[in-house]
Amino acid sequence: MNVPTIRYPAPPAQVAVYVEIMGPKMAMEFLLAFGGAPLEHHERTTARSRIAAIVGPEHARALAQENHRLQPRVPLATRWLAACLKAEGQSVHDIARKLRCSDVTVRKYLRAQEAAEARRRP
């Protein structure tokens, strides 16, 4: 049985390092859990830490090692998250509930994403 591959949109610059380290799906989980908050990364992250509980100890250690590339506050990346959740097939209403915004805002984000992708196409 072939599982369709999800084509996530390209991440914005402030999120690219998270996607590079963890992949898009895990980066989404991380951003949904920690976005908007300051976060300290420690080299000796334990398996019991909040970060490790969400992304696993390997990814938590990788984030700590790349701390010099990360912003002090985890980005919200709401527009990118909306586009990713849509790429996964989630409804506008489900996306709005996850991102804690209105369905009108989600539609606006998705229209802007589609317009940006159309401009990039030859």
pLDDT of residue 2: 65
Residue 62: name the closest of 87, 34, 30 by CA: 30
Measure the CA–CA gap between 92 and 106, rounded to whole angstroms: 6
pLDDT above 90: percentage of residues in the chain:
62
Q: Which residue has the tokens 């606006």?
A: 108
Is residue 39 scored above 90 in pLDDT? Answer: no
Confidence of residue 46 (pLDDT cuts 50, 70, 90): low
Q: Is the pLDDT of residue 14 over 90?
A: yes
Band of residue 13 on the pLDDT scale cut at 50, 70, 90: very high
Question: What is the mean predicted confidence (pLDDT) over 39-48?
Answer: 66
Quick check: 101 pLDDT over 90? Answer: yes
Query: For the whole model, what pTM was predicted?
Result: 0.88
Across residues 46-53, what is the average pLDDT?
Answer: 78
Residue 54 contacts residue 33 (beta carbons within 8 Å) = yes
